[in-house]
Amino acid sequence: MDLQGFGHLLLSGAWMTIQLALASLVIGLIIGLIGASAKLSNNRVARGLATTYTTVVRGVPELLLVLTLYFGGSQILMWIAGYFGYDEYIEVGPFAAGVAALAIAFGAYATEVFRMAMLEIPKGQWESAQAIGMTRFQTFFRIIMPQLWRYSLPGLGNLFQVLLKDTALVSVVGLNELMRQAAVGAANTKQPFDFYLAAAVLYLGLTLIATFVTAYLERLSKPEQYKQAKLSGGKA
């Protein structure tokens, strides 16, 4: 592959892709936890809102979310700010719109992953923690959360790989991530095959790294399972 001096563009685009994916992951995990808690709550309104959110977002293409938040985000923020007396123009940049759209999409799927993981944890653990005087907040973070990660890590790992590739959608609103930088290099050199092949290699490398990190985190969350498999000579 002859990138004709444009290789640094791909590297800078890959770094932007990583930042975009990690920022969306953090916000999406928070949204997923809130959504799963709402779906399993006794509050009918919370359950209805969470169900509506997951149903709508999972039924809408991520590209449409990116375009909607990029072109309509400023109007929404200005409308909200108007109630507080702020009348200046608020601009939503491509990075912010991309993070918001990807986080919302990731959160909708993460909600279901967390919900299923929460259902795997016996309800008696909540009751036992409350019996010894722990609040629901303490019970969730000290008792439930460590177990929740163990059950949800495989599903979240798969979702993150999808998220990593979906970052390419943000190129349509002008963010200089990997896909857009590959397009810039291809347009300037008239060699699209080389640049898109290089971008594919970088995406594959990032996906493999994410796979190894997920596998490592799974080993940390289930040390006894992997230790037993090692002693028996089998696979975890």
Q: Convert the pLDDT of each residue in 162-193 to its tens digit.
A: 999 999 999 999 899 999 999 999 998 888 89
CA distance 222 to 150: 7
CB neighbours of 207 closer than 8 A, spacing ≥ 6?
A: 161, 164, 165
CA dihedral sign, ordered 44, 47, 48, 49: positive
| CB contact at 8 A, 177 and 171 | yes
Secondary structure letter of residue 121 according to DSSP: S
Q: Which of 119, 123, 66, 118 is nearest to 95 (CA)?
A: 66
- Is 229 part of any domain? no
Count of CB atoms situated within 10 Å of the CB of 204 = 10
Q: Which domain holds residue 115?
A: 15-175
Q: In the chain, how many domains are there?
A: 1
Q: Which residue has the tokens 């490398």?
A: 205
DSSP 66-116: HHHHHHHHHHHHHHHHHTTT--S-----HHHHHHHHHHHHHHHHHHHHHHH
Please check whether residue 197 lies inside any domain of the structure: no
Mean pLDDT of the chain: 88
- 205 in a structural domain: no
Tens-place pLDDT, residues 103-141 = 999 999 999 999 999 888 888 888 888 888 888 888 888
pLDDT mean over 18-33:
96
Residue at 55 is within a domain: yes
pLDDT of residue 33: 94
**So what's the pLDDT on residue 46?**
94
Mean pLDDT of 86-101: 89
CATH code, 52: 1.10.3720.10
Q: Let me know if residue 52 belongs to a domain.
A: yes
C-alpha distances in angstroms, 191 versus 167, 168, 175, 197? 23, 20, 22, 10
Q: Is residue 214 part of a domain?
A: no
64-74 average pLDDT score: 91
Question: Region 92-104: what's the mean pLDDT?
Answer: 94
Domain contains 200:
no
